[in-house]
Amino acid sequence: MLDFPVWKRVLIWGLCVAGLLFAAPNLFYSRVETHNDAVQAIERTGTATPELEAEAGGWPSFLPSGLVNLGLDLRGGAHLLAEVHVTDVYADRMDNLWPEVRNALRAERDAIGTIRRQDGAPDELRIRVSRPENIQQAVQAVADLSSPIVSLTGVGARDFEVTSEGADIVVRLSEAEMTASDDRTMRQSLEIIRRRVDEAGTREPTIQRQGEDRILIQVPGIGSAQELKDLIGTTARLTFNEVTGRTTDEHQPVQPGEALLASMNEPGTFYAVDTAPVVSGEDLTDAQPSFDQNGRPAVSFRFNPGGARRFGDYTAEHIGEPFAIVLDDEVISAPVIQSHIAGGSGIITGNFSVEESTQLAVLLRAGALPAEMTFLEERTIGPELGADSIRAGALACAVAFVAVLAFMLASYGLFGIFANIALIINIGLIFGLLSLIGATLTLPGIAGIVLTIGMAVDANVLIFERIKEELKTARGPARAIELGYEKALSAIADANITTLITAGILYFMGSGPVKGFAITLGIGIITSVFTAIYVTRLIVLAWFARKRPKTLEV
């Protein structure tokens, strides 16, 4: 029983070597980081400048180059938790539906009389008909506009529901469509935030969905949460709307379904616009900074086929009338339609500087955020604080490490050395695993490692104490070692599984730094059990086979 089969030995040492190999890049952190960045840059641009080549050559490419990511609290950066107002989209949908409904109801004019949109809850469309006795006909006409959707909840669901309340027809999105819409909104928001953050070229941002309607955004290396917010932009919705009036009076009353918006470039001027957009930013496929025929900076854009058709139809019908280009409830410009714009491309002119037109193009290209966001949590950590934390953490780790090594040596002599070798391998394995899975190291994570250093010896202590006890029953050292390992196993297993359970709960319940702690704690438990029951055992057995001692002192 004292012998390990050769394959097992090879496997154990192989795992150790592999773990240490994966941990190695962390010793040369900045060098490997430069290498990784350079390799990435070469891949992205497809061209390799001599400097990039040199930087990439700083670390041999045949070695693993995975690094432990440093969390925000160690590297500095900004953290935002945003809640997306998914229900905003319902209101937009209703506004978009209105022209279509209006046309459908106008066709039924003989039966239902005149129609008028009423102010109601934002997520519903409320239309009063002058001849309520035929309201069912109106309901039917509007219902015919809805289209079937595929959903998990039921077959035959339509995208919106039409009911009648007295003389009003009320149109609302169906449950199934709301769920689908929420999901779409979230995915769109995530994608847009990702693109905007990527445009800024920051390193390894974390952008992930949390729960139903939240998005977590963590960007290392950015100056402040405010900067990150500016980058994301809170709404940035672009729409093209019909202009119904122009005024300098901020408080001028407007018709239902219209809004008074300030002009961006003409202070004191306000435009009354129809809130139902003709085309919106979602229909844009491209936007580029360019110049108009007078050489002034402008932004040229292109619509997708659907948007192009609607824009084309609209411009054909409204030649000579102004329309508004609205960004975030501000009118960028309100040009007069000169001719039928077919083909779905156009140009936005305003009093832009070159920089502004570039910025606007980026914003448009990235797409508008479909809904507004509230920031529930904002954190900024300066890089100096992070650097201080790393220094303090590293020092604490080193001191803890040396103290524990010395203590083990003093307590167990030769066996203490065996345990210490295992402990060193253990630390290596933790970093190797962290690098391999690309985990993020946080300040509590460092505490987790320090705690693991303290606790990692536990399994060895259990075994050594057990061997000591078994030696008392005097069956010879070989038998004592064997029994020591065997009998300690159940205590080791129970003790570590319970700790692993709490680490698991921490991981699934916790967020941010707590999660980082749970990861290092969990990995630490696994590697320390592995090193204690396999690595020290191999070392002890190798030593025993060579020395064949008659007595044993543990």
Instruction: Tell me which residues in 382-411 interact with another protein (CB under 8 A).
Output: 382, 384-385, 388-389, 391-393, 395-397, 399-400, 403-404, 407-408, 410-411
Task: Tell me 335's DSSP state.
Answer: P
Residues 218-277 that bind another protein (CB under 8 A): 224-226, 229
CB of 144 to another protein, least distance (A): 40
CB of 94 to another protein, least distance (A): 24
Residues 52-111 that bind another protein (CB under 8 A): 73, 81, 83
Residues in the chain: 554
Residue from 314, 517, 530, 534 touching another protein (CB under 8 A): that is 517
Asked if 412 interacts with another protein (CB under 8 A), we say yes
Q: Which stretch binds another protein (CB under 8 A): 146-154, 160-168, 262-270, 498-506?
A: 498-506
Asked if 10 interacts with another protein (CB under 8 A), we say no
Asked if 513 interacts with another protein (CB under 8 A), we say yes
CB of 418 to another protein, least distance (A): 15
Closest listed residue to residue 549, CA positions, set 471, 477, 463: 477
Nearer to another protein, 114 or 374 (CB): 374
Q: Which stretch binds another protein (CB under 8 A): 104-112, 135-143, 281-289, 451-459?
A: 451-459
Residue from 294, 338, 339, 490 touching another protein (CB under 8 A): that is 490
Asked if 208 contacts 216 with a C-beta cutoff of 8 angstroms, the reply is yes
Residue from 264, 450, 480, 535 touching another protein (CB under 8 A): that is 450
**Size of site (CB under 8 A) for another protein:** 78
**Angle, vertex CA 93, rays to CA 151 and CA 336, nearest 5:** 145
CB of 378 to another protein, least distance (A): 5
Residues 6+ apart with CB under 8 A from 311: 240, 278, 279, 303, 341, 344, 346
CB of 405 to another protein, least distance (A): 10
Residues 6+ apart with CB under 8 A from 55: 34, 35, 37, 38
Residue from 512, 531, 532, 539 touching another protein (CB under 8 A): that is 512
CB of 213 to another protein, least distance (A): 12
Distance CA 333, CA 342 (A): 20
Residue from 514, 526, 543, 544 touching another protein (CB under 8 A): that is 514
Query: Which DSSP helix (H) or strand (E) runs through 380?
Result: strand 373-381
- Amino acid type, 445: G
Number of CB atoms found within 10 A of residue 494's CB: 10
CA dihedral (348, 350, 354, 359) in degrees, to 10, reads -60
CB of 504 to another protein, least distance (A): 8
Asked if 115 contacts 129 with a C-beta cutoff of 8 angstroms, the reply is yes
Nearer to another protein, 273 or 369 (CB): 369
Nearer to another protein, 40 or 498 (CB): 498
Distance CA 465, CA 300 (A): 78
Q: x/- site string to another protein, residues 364 to 383, per CB under 8 A?
A: ----------xxxxxxxxx-
Helix axes of 175-199 and 88-107: crossing angle, nearest 10 degrees? 120
Distance CA 552, CA 473 (A): 13
CB of 238 to another protein, least distance (A): 24
Distance CA 424, CA 6 (A): 24
Residues 460-489 that bind another protein (CB under 8 A): 461-462, 465, 469, 483, 486-487, 489
Asked if 299 contacts 287 with a C-beta cutoff of 8 angstroms, the reply is yes
Q: Which stretch binds another protein (CB under 8 A): 20-28, 118-126, 273-281, 501-509?
A: 501-509
Closest listed residue to residue 435, CA positions, set 63, 42, 156: 63
Residue from 217, 324, 521, 538 touching another protein (CB under 8 A): that is 521
Residues 6+ apart with CB under 8 A from 13: 538
- In the numeric block, which tokens belong to residue 387? 């650097």
Query: Which DSSP helix (H) or strand (E) runs through 357?
Result: helix 354-366
CB of 540 to another protein, least distance (A): 17
Residue from 178, 503, 523, 535 touching another protein (CB under 8 A): that is 503
Asked if 163 interacts with another protein (CB under 8 A), we say no
